[in-house]
Amino acid sequence: MNLPNKLTLARVILAPAFMVFMVLDFGSTLKWNYLIALVLFCAASITDFADGHIARKYNLVTNFGKFLDPLADKFLVIGALCCLCLVEDNSLYGKVLLLATVIVVLRELAVSGLRLVVAKEGIVVPANVFGKIKTVSQIGFIISAILVLMLSNYNLPPILLTGLSVIRAAFLIVMTVMTVVSGIIYLNSYRKYIDPSN
């Protein structure tokens, strides 16, 4: 249980704590539960970047880490997207968010299945640049979406909320596009292992 694995485990623990504060309204008009959820999500996201960097730099890569790290990422991101869907209304944005969440879930299921298949061949599917862009855009979208939820309860100038909403929409578009693109690239790169003719 080295430091990278401890950081990954911390992310697994932070994910459900984040979801609790996202969905439970404690009756405050200031929606401080969103602030706590945002802090927990940012802390968990930092561990995502830190554990892999430390593991590679100090040669602390383990099978446990290879297994739990991508799983912890999925717990956090999919959990966050589901919570955002839950707290949104039936607006156009809410419907688009739901569709994007379904796309993310289906992509992660497909890539996870691919990883299982190629693992039997002794191959570890590494993250490529498209997958990293996808991850960064997911984190950017979730943070901006929580900020919009939180700050909409404050008497801020409309231009600030409008600007933040535009940033949220941009991240949502990039996240959805890169989710599809990175998934296709992964599947295409290892298609020989899932080719039904083989």
The pLDDT value recorded for residue 29 is: 66
The pLDDT value recorded for residue 70 is: 83
pTM, to two decimals: 0.91
Poorest-confidence range of 34-38, 66-70, 132-136? 66-70
The pLDDT value recorded for residue 113 is: 87
Q: Quote the number of domains for the chain.
A: 1
- CATH assignment at residue 103: 1.20.120
Q: Is residue 33 part of a domain?
A: yes
Q: Is residue 198 part of a domain?
A: no
Reported as a single tens digit per residue, the pLDDT across 11-20 is: 999 999 999 9
What is the torsional sign of CA 169, 26, 89, 183? positive
Reported as a single tens digit per residue, the pLDDT across 67-102 is: 788 889 999 999 999 999 999 878 899 999 999 999
Q: Is residue 10 part of a domain?
A: yes
The pLDDT value recorded for residue 30 is: 66
- DSSP codes, the chain: --HHHHHHHHHHHHHHHHHHHHH---S-TT-HHHHHHHHHHHHHHHHHHHHHHHHHHTT---HHHHHHHHHHHHHHHHHHHHHHHHHS-SSHHHHHHHHHHHHHHHHHHHHHHHHHHHHTTT------HHHHHHHHHHHHHHHHHHHHHHHTTS---HHHHHHHHHHHHHHHHHHHHHHHHHHHHHHHHTGGGT-TT-
The pLDDT value recorded for residue 136 is: 94
Q: Is residue 197 part of a domain?
A: no
Range of the domain at 47: 3-192
pLDDT higher than 90, residue 121? no
Q: Is residue 77 part of a domain?
A: yes
